[in-house]
């Protein structure tokens, strides 16, 4: 980089750190999280809350910088919000859940935390990802501080067990994946992602890997056996049924429908006519591929969802070969998947009748905006992390260099619009904290790839898993 460009980038980082400091929330005098956005020009709605998923990039950054207190306080306080009793009350959150977000409420004589499990959220969506991210952050905390005793405290072990019980319970279906309602993750509105969305499956797999390491004391408890059983089943299911490349597309193209019984090759009864072959066959590069957005009964959602694919690489849910193929695809279809701002939340956008049906005519999710094909700078850290893990640093470098030319001048928007991400998001908040931390974290990961170990897992190996874990 030229000297002048380096100076600009240093200034930008300094500005970003200052804004991040301003976003910190204090509770009883201690830092416990960061607000979603500090944009005084818009109605706050719940952007003055600390969202668990938004805090992930803040947490990793604070851990890298040795500011352990804020992450420790966040983990301890959010754990206190987790319901521990099972109650048959449809209007109360289920035992084990971690809220989507919380805020500090101050009255004359006291301060308390108000949480939202979805009972206040727009469209009353449930955050399934929060409890998974919570375990992932806890694991990163223990990795960074080497303080396993923190996670061994009884209330933390119980917290992990409750989340695991909730996720591992058998319900109405018999798949290793998790069945969730629409809007249960980063895409926090109706977007046709109910069922078995990739993002949730990838976070589920990552949380299982993390929980397995943190439940040291549980020995051969039922839950640990449950995790060991589930991990390979989930991994193989995703690697097989979600994978799309030219070879697989050819298999799907010739699928027969209506197969009954164990010997069916088209197990989910995917009707080939539902797949946009013409586009996909042209779009897929020879050595590229990706994990589909969703797989269920007669459903193969061929949209590319960024966070699910990136987390699949980081957790080794995707095989090494698949991880390389995903990075090849990103490189070859850069304009579509990254454009001018890393990176698209999903591709392509749903349009016309599909938009109307999938989103319920949501004006915020019009084609190429917000969740429907918008570009989210927060995704940059996961792209850079995946690029580092697969040895594709050139991809990471290209992404950061492009983003840093615009983010500061645009006042750190929540998201960008348009097929190339050239427009500042129509409804985007400015000074969005995870945009700021996504950039800062990406920078740190580029500088020192060793930080990857906070969030990355090697291939799962049952024999090693059952030995006492070294974190």
Summarize as ranges the residues that interact with ligand GLC (CB under 6 A): 36, 51, 53-54, 186, 188
State which residue, 164 or 186, has the beta carbon closest to ligand GLC: 186
Give 375 or 390: the residue with its C-beta nearer to ligand GLC. Answer: 375
Q: Least Å distance between CB 438 and ligand GLC?
A: 11
Return contacts of 11-20, CB within 8 angstroms, 24+ apart. Answer: 11/408, 12/404, 12/407, 12/408, 12/439, 13/440, 13/443, 15/408, 16/408, 16/412, 16/436, 16/439, 16/440, 17/440, 19/412, 19/431, 19/433, 19/436, 20/58, 20/61, 20/433, 20/436, 20/437, 20/440
In the complex with ligand GLC, the residue whose CB is nearer, 104 or 186, is: 186
Please give the Cα distance from 346 to 395 (Å, whole number): 18
**Smaller CB distance to ligand GLC: residue 230 or 370?**
370
The Cα 91–Cα 100 span in angstroms is 16
For residue 354, the minimal CB distance to ligand GLC (Å) is: 20
Quote the least distance from Cβ 53 to ligand GLC, whole Å: 5
Considering the complex, what minimum distance in angstroms separates the CB of residue 433 from ligand GLC?
8
Residue with Cβ nearer ligand GLC (116 or 245) = 116
Residue 58 or 316 having the CB closest to ligand GLC: 58
For residue 403, count CB atoms less than 10 angstroms from its CB and return exposed for 0-12, middle for 13-18, buried for 19 or more. buried
Q: Of 71 and 185, which CB lies nearer to ligand GLC in the complex structure?
A: 185
Which residue, 36, 146, 100, 9, is CA-closest to 435?
36
What is the phi/psi pair of residue 239, to 5°? -60, -30
- Minimum distance of ligand GLC from residue 332's CB (angstroms): 28
300 or 350, CB closer to ligand GLC? 350
Indicate the residue among 51 and 102 with the shorter CB distance to ligand GLC: 51
In the complex, least distance from residue 19 CB atom to ligand GLC, rounded to whole angstroms: 15
Least separation in angstroms between residue 286's CB and ligand GLC is: 34
**Closest CB 236 distance from ligand GLC, rounded Å:** 29
Q: Which of 41, 107 has the CB closer to ligand GLC?
A: 41
CB of 120 to ligand GLC, least distance (A): 12
Q: How far is the CB of 372 from ligand GLC (least distance, A)?
A: 11
CB of 125 to ligand GLC, least distance (A): 9
Cβ-based neighbours of 140, under 8 Å, separated by 6 or more: 59, 60, 63, 454, 455
Task: Return the number of the residue (129 or 331) whose C-beta is nearest ligand GLC.
Answer: 129
């Amino acid at each position: 980089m030229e000297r002048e460009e380096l100076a600009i980038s240093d200034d930008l980082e300094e500005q970003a750190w200052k804004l991040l400091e301003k976003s910190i929330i204090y509770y009883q005098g201690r830092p416990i999280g960061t607000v979603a956005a500090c944009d005084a020009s818009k109605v706050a709605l719940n952007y003055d809350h600390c969202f668990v998923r938004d805090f992930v990039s803040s947490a990793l950054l604070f851990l890298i910088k040795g500011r352990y207190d804020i992450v420790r306080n966040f983990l301890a306080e959010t754990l206190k919000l987790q319901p521990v009793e099972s109650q048959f009350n449809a209007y109360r959150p289920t035992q084990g859940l971690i809220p989507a977000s919380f805020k500090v409420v101050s009255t004359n004589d006291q301060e308390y935390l108000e949480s939202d499990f979805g009972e206040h959220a727009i469209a009353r969506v449930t955050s399934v990802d929060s409890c998974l991210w919570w375990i992932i952050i806890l694991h990163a905390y223990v990795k960074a501080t080497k303080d396993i005793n923190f996670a061994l405290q009884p209330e933390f072990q119980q917290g992990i067990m409750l989340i695991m019980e909730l996720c591992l319970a058998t319900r109405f279906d018999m798949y290793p994946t998790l069945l969730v309602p629409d809007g249960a993750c980063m895409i926090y509105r109706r977007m046709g992602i109910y069922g078995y969305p990739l993002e949730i499956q990838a976070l589920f797999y990552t949380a299982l890997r993390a929980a397995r390491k943190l439940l040291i004391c549980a020995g051969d408890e039922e839950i640990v056996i449950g995790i060991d059983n589930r991990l390979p089943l989930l991994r193989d299911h995703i690697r097989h049924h979600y994978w799309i490349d030219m070879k697989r597309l050819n298999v799907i193209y010739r699928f027969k429908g209506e197969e009954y019984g164990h010997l069916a090759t088209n197990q989910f009864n995917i009707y080939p006519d539902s797949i946009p072959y013409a586009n996909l066959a042209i779009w897929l590069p020879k050595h590229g591929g990706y994990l589909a957005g969703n797989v269920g009964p007669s459903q193969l959602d061929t949209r590319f969802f960024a966070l699910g694919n990136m987390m699949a690489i980081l957790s080794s849910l995707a095989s090494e070969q698949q991880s390389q193929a995903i990075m090849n695809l990103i490189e070859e279809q850069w304009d579509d998947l990254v454009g001018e701002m890393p990176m698209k939340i999903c591709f392509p956008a749903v349009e016309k009748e599909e938009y109307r049906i999938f989103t319920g005519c949501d004006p915020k999710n019009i084609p190429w905006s917000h969740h429907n094909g918008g570009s989210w700078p927060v995704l940059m850290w996961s792209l850079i992390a995946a690029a580092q893990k697969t040895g594709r640093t050139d991809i990471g470098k290209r992404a950061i260099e492009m983003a840093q030319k615009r983010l500061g001048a645009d006042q750190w928007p929540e998201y960008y619009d348009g097929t190339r991400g050239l427009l500042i998001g129509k409804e985007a908040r400015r000074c969005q904290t995870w945009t700021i931390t996504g950039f800062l974290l990406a920078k740190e990961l580029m500088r020192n790839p060793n930080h990857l170990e906070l969030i990355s897992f090697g291939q799962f190996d049952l024999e090693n898993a059952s030995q006492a874990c070294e974190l």
